[in-house]
Structure formats: structure tokens, C-alpha cells
Structure 1
């Protein structure tokens, strides 16, 4: 095993070690210290997961690898969110936190993650072209194989509106979402993508190891990271709630934004590294796949965790949570409208980030519903402009085979240049 990889693994384990000691001994000084210690452990374990998941593409090629990478990278988010849902089965006070964590992670992923990797990819593309062509790349072109992912996300965006309409998440609805995710994985496994594999950093070190050593390393990293996350998810989740009261900060706000930021930071870093390597389509593809599994598997698992925790067959939502779901669903619809033509223009990246930032300024219920309506209206306008892409996108998940014609990653064709 390369020395650089060993050093990084040891660093992650060193960061996680205090949390394991706290967990085993039951030591707890104060909620804020617990939040820092267990949060750092979750982040460290997330990096181990991200490196292993990226390197695993050496053995699993194509769209399925991207889908699995996206799923594994957000496992820390699942652990925290499912804990809140499970605890809500016996303590109704935790019902709000399950929805808060999920909606926050979804909006952070689309409103911050998507624009970030697109801008980075375009900057890299323009630097590469500067010596050969004075024209500037203004949009990131996605391969046609991405239409399957966009199609699934479009269907989920429409189905998601049923949640605020119902006012709760039934177990049967959750089961349907989980089946939808299973269908997505199956279709991703059928997709043909011959794009070359490129690795960076620790993932590159793992991928270049002999087959047997690589697979042993991958299994070990997955097992160690999973053990750390499972050990730290409960105390981290509890520390988030307690720290809000201790610091005089709304616990709902901490659960909604701090936890997803900690658990998804490694995923963002992996996506940005893809973009920096000129793999813009792979970068945004990873985040699109993450959005799909969060909006299907994660949401679908919440009512089941609630039931297993002693609750009923429905996960209740109060007025604030319904508001959050509406805001998240309309943002998802806008995201689908932006990428439905398999082009992500830089101005749409700025616009998506700006709309995301607005929600931190517009905090009252009326204002948030107005913001949701604005997102929905803008999405409808964009979809009308791109109406020719709607039916092919909605049909893509159900076709036997979506032929991938172009796998150009970060350097789009001249048609998308200024």
C-alpha cells in the first residue's frame, strides 16, 4: 500500500479516534464538544467512504458505478436521518428533524453542489481552450446516457408533490419510492458507457494496486468507515439537537444544514476533483445520481424507520415540514428543467445558486411559498422552451437501451460557446 495512502488513512482514523473513545466510555462533557468530536468522526469516515467508492469504479464500470458511488458517498447522511426517523417512532419531537435533515441535504446538493461543479468544470474547460481558441465555453454538455438519470429525477420531482398534498409520508408510498430506486439501479446497470476511468488522489492509489490487494483494501475501508458512522450517528444526531438549545440556535436549523454539510462535504470534494480533472459530466452525473437516491431511497426509508421505531404507518408532517417539502420539490423541478436538454449553462448555475441563497433571507412562511411558486413558474417557462426534450426524457427510464452517442466530458461542442 502506498505510503501517502497509509498516511491519509491514519489521519482519518486519528480524527475519528476521540469519538470512538467517547462512544465506548460514554464520556460526554457538553453538547457542543460532542458535536465537534462526533461530527469530525463522521466527516473522516465520509472521506474513507468516498475514496473507496471512487476506486471501486475500477471493478464496476459505467453508469452503475456512478450510481453506487453516489449512494455510498451519502451513507453518513442516511445514518443520521434514519436515526431521527427511527427515534420519532417513540418521541414525536423528533419527527420534524427527520424531514429537516432530508430537505436540507436535498436543497444543499442541488442549490450549492450542482452550480459549484458546473462553474469549476467550465473554468477548467476554458483554461484548456485558451491557447487554441479565444472563444469561451459557456455550457457543460452532458452525454446522452445521462438522459436516463434526468428522466428518473423528473419522475421523482413530479411524484414528490404528493407528499405535501398528503401531509404525511405513508409506508406504502415509501415502498414505492424504494422500488423506484431499485429500478433506477437496474437501468443504470444496463446503460453502456465506455468513458475511460480516471482517478485522483487516494482513489488513484487504491485503483493502481494489484487486484487482490485493491479489493481487500476496499472491503476494509468500507467496513471501517461503516463502523465509525454507525457508532457516531446517534451521538452526533443527539448533539445537534442539544447544541441548538445550549447555543441558543434553532435546533431545526442545525439539523437541516450543519449535518448535511458535514456528511456531504467529501462527496462535493470528489465531484469537484472530477471537474478539476476535466471530467465535468462525471462530476455533475455523480451529484445527479445523489439527488435521485436521496429523493427516492432516503425519503422512502423514513416512514419505514419511523414504523420500526414504534410509530404508525405514516410519518406525520407539520405545517413547517410541508412548507420545506414544497420548497424542495419546486427546486427539484427547476433543476430538472435546467438540465433536461443535457446542457447546463453557466448563467443557470449562477441563477440556481442565487435562488438557493434567497431561502436564507426569505424565512417567513408566506415568503417561502412565494419563492416556491417562483421556482415552479420558472421551471414551467424553461420546460416550455425545451418542450421537445420532455417526452424523450420521461421515456428514457423505460427504454430497453439508451444509446450513448457522445461521452465528451468537460469540453462541449462549438454550439454551446459564446
Structure 2
């Protein structure tokens, strides 16, 4: 990073300009201000452009923040902001489910009832993140490395530093606990305490990491080269603005996609489980692709890994809290058989995902397996009958768990070292992210 900050790059105002229309339309709808009622297809383009602009702001802010805080903590902050739309969608369904419970004394399941949809978006988002997002990072990083004719990072694989053992270890802890959820009849406040505690410990652990001098270019270099007070103001402002844009646009983006699907006769549950999560996951997926395209594949994977930790701890833990507040009861969110299977499949995929990263590398082969298994469950949920899809879910869950146990057994030394490094080893011995 140069000592003299360069002139303001043109990318910053361009990214900001791309967000204006979508942000106004989204905010106007929430605030009751006058705004045009656009066709769904046009709305998708406008809100999508705003989310892309916000993703650029997030990536620049996270990079510039590494001047003052550790890369891991900066990426974790990025992940929290990027998954805000996921929180918004999930918690809306959860709140509605609580109201149904309060009115009827029980939680009606099936169809498009919010009690059934409360977990559909969350489980779908988690599986998209790992089954589609992680392989996407490997693909984009490989293409970028090939175009740059770079030997580092090597095409076909994404390597990460030992400091990312923190994300992996806490994801592993949350995953082991989540494997008990399919055995329950409800998601309770006790589960909330456990998941929120895991996230709090994860955040505290990241906060202990020392900052390290980053290699910045473009907008991030311009922001990072400013005096400390001004730099921190820009970073906080960019995070905040990106968060507002995402909150204003993401739900409308998802609704536009879902509306288009409903017009085509697609089942609402499938839309909530796949289309809406893909829309709400778009900020972090775009940020990850931006990192990968700039040959920062390790940070790219770190972004999605941190998002996974966030969603599989804090988001899951928040759901029973919102349900209890909405329903006016300490009873947990009821889980029917279908929801328990969805939780089983998501937890099993998460366990396999942890196991394949024990060597601190995501290979092209492992990414292919992740994508292939995800593709099977995605196709089965669309083309098969509910009963047939149920059996596919059970079989795939078993496949994930068996593959994970094989990996964990064969790499048992890596398993112990990863959890030790992630939870207790001083960062000075781990190196930078």
C-alpha cells in the first residue's frame, strides 16, 4: 500500500450510482412514499443492480478495514452485513408462524403456511451456500488464475491459511450440535442459547486476532491510505450504507423472483426454499466472486465460510427467540417430519463440508462432489413426488454423514489439530488469514 493515497477511483461513484434506483424503490415501499409499481422482471434488474453495487462496497470496506483489524474479523463483519437479507426473510416467516401459533394454539403445517416456511428458507440458504457457493469460488478462482497465468493460487483448488481454522472449528461445534435437531419435536429457547453462545465465542475469538498489513488496490487502497480517523469513518460508512441498501432491496429482489416463479406455476415452498435464498445469498456470493476474480481465493472462501458460521449459529439461534416473542409463549417452534428431514440434510451437508476442509484446501474434486450432491437434492425436490423426495433426502443425508465420518477418521490427526488451532492456539502461531 502506498504512503500517498491515490485519487478517488471512479469505481466508487459508479457502484454508488448503481444502487440509487433500487434503494429508493425499496425504501419508498417500506416508508409509504410514492414509487412506480414495476413489472417483476424489471424490478429484478433494478434491485439486483443495487445489491451488486452494495456487494462492491462491502468488499472494499472489508479490505480497507484490515488496516485496523484482523482479516478474519473484517470478513466476519462483512458476512454479518451480507446475510442481513437472510435474517429479514427468515425472521418474517418465523414471526408469522408465531402469530399463527398464538391464534390457533398449534402450528399448522403443509403448503405455504408460515409454520412450514419458517425453516425452509434457512435450510435452503445454508445448502446453497455450501453446495453452490463453495464450488463457485473454486471455479471463479481457477478461471482467474488461468487468465492471469498465475501459479499461486493454483488452478483447481483454493487453499487457506491456518488462521481460518477458527471458522472451521466453530462451524464444526455448531454442526455436531445441529445433528441433534432432527431428533426434536421443536426448536427451543435452549437451542437458541447454545447457538448464540457458539457465535459469541466465535466472534470473541476473532476479536483476539491482531491486524496484519494487507495488500490493497483500487478503492480499498484509496480508503486504506487515508488518515486513521478518516479511514475508519469511510469503512464504517461503507459498511452501513451497504447494509441499508441490502435491507432496502434484498427482500424486494427475492419477492420479484418468487412472484415470477408463481406466475409460472412453481410451488411456493420450493420458491421459498431455493429461489428466495439464492436472492438473499446473492450479496455474499457476489463478494466472494469478486475476491476470487482478484486472485484472493482464500478470502473468497473465508467470506462464505464465515457466512456459513453466521447462519448456522446466530440465525438458527434467533429463530426460536422471534417465534417465542411472536407467539407469546416459551414453547419452541414446532418441527414436523419434513422440517426435521430438512434439518438433517442441512446438518449432514455441513458435517461433510467441515471434513473436506481439514487439510486447509478445497480441491476441485471436493467442490465437484459438493455440487453434485447438491444438484441431486435440488433436482429431486423439483421433479419427484414428496414421498420420493423424502427418501432421496434420507439417502443423501446418509451419504453425507458416511463420507464425513470416513474423512474424519482418515484425517483424525488433522481433526484434532484443526479444533485446537481454531479454539485455543494463539494467532501469532497460526499466521494471517
TM-score band, normalised by shorter chain: 0.7 to 0.9
Whole-angstrom distance in 2 between the partners of 1:244 and 1:126: 37
Residue 175 (structure 1) shift:
1.6
Are the structure 2 counterparts of residues 77 and 55 from structure 1 closer, same or farther at C-alpha, using a change threshold of 3 Å? farther
Which secondary structure state, in structure 2, belongs to the residue aligned with residue 197 of structure 1? coil
> Shift of the alpha carbon at 1:53?
3.8
Equivalent positions of 1:49-128 (< 5 A) are 49-91=58-100, 92=107, 93-125=113-145
Give the superposition deviation at 1:172. 1.7
Q: Distance in 2 between matches of 1:377 and 1:288?
A: 22
Aligned partners of 1:129 and 1:306: how far apart in 2?
52
Q: Which residue of 2 aligns with 1:322?
A: 340
Q: Please give the secondary structure, in 2, of the residue aligned with 1:59.
A: coil
Tell me by how many angstroms 1:370 deviates.
0.7
- Alignment correspondent of 1:13: 20
Following the alignment from structure 1 to structure 2, what is the Cα–Cα distance between the partners of residues 402 and 355?
35
- Partners of 1:89 and 1:38 lie apart in 2 by 29
1:174 match: 192
Taking the TM superposition and a 5 Å limit, the aligned residue runs for 1:2-401 are: 2-23=9-30, 24-25=32-33, 32=40, 36=44, 45=54, 47-91=56-100, 92=107, 93-125=113-145, 139-192=157-210, 194=212, 196-199=213-216, 202-231=219-248, 245-313=262-330, 314-363=332-381, 364-401=389-426
Q: Using the alignment, how far apart are the partners of 1:278 and 1:239 within structure 2?
A: 33
What secondary structure does 2:378 align onto?
coil
Task: State the alpha-carbon separation in 2 of the partners of residues 258 and 60 from structure 1.
Answer: 35
Deviation at 1:82, TM superposition (A): 1.7
2-structure distance, mates of 1:361, 1:186: 40
Q: Residues 192 and 404 of structure 1 are in contact (CA less than 8 Å); yes or no, is this contact kept in structure 2?
A: no
* Unpaired runs of at least 5, structure 1: 410-418
CA distance in 2, matches of 1:234, 1:280: 29
Provide the aligned length of Structure 1 versus Structure 2.
405
Quote the offset at 1:63 in angstroms: 2.1
Structure 1 residue 311 displacement after superposition: 4.8
In the aligned structure 1, how far is the partner of 2:369 from the partner of 2:244? 40
Contact 2:15 2:57 in 1 (8 A): no
Q: TM-score, normalised by structure 1?
A: 0.85
Given that residues 70 and 287 in structure 1 are in contact (C-alpha distance below 8 angstroms), is that contact kept between their aligned partners in structure 2?
yes
Q: Which residue of 1 aligns with 2:384?
A: none
- Residue 140 of structure 1 aligns to a residue whose secondary structure is strand
> Residue by residue, what CA displacement relative to the aligned partner does 1:384-409 show, whole Å, maximum 9, x if unpaired?
221211222233343152554565x8
Residues 27 and 283 of structure 1, relative CA distance in 2, 3 Å threshold = closer
The verdict on how the C-alpha distance between 1:360 and 1:88 changes in structure 2, with shifts beyond 3 A counting, is same
Describe the superposition over 1:364-398 as per-residue Cα deviations: whole angstroms up to 9, x where unpaired. Answer: 11111111111111111122221211222233343
Name the SS for the 2:232 alignment partner: helix
Contact 2:157 2:363 in 1 (8 A): yes
- Aligned-residue CA RMSD (Å): 3.2
TM-score normalised by length of structure 2: 0.82
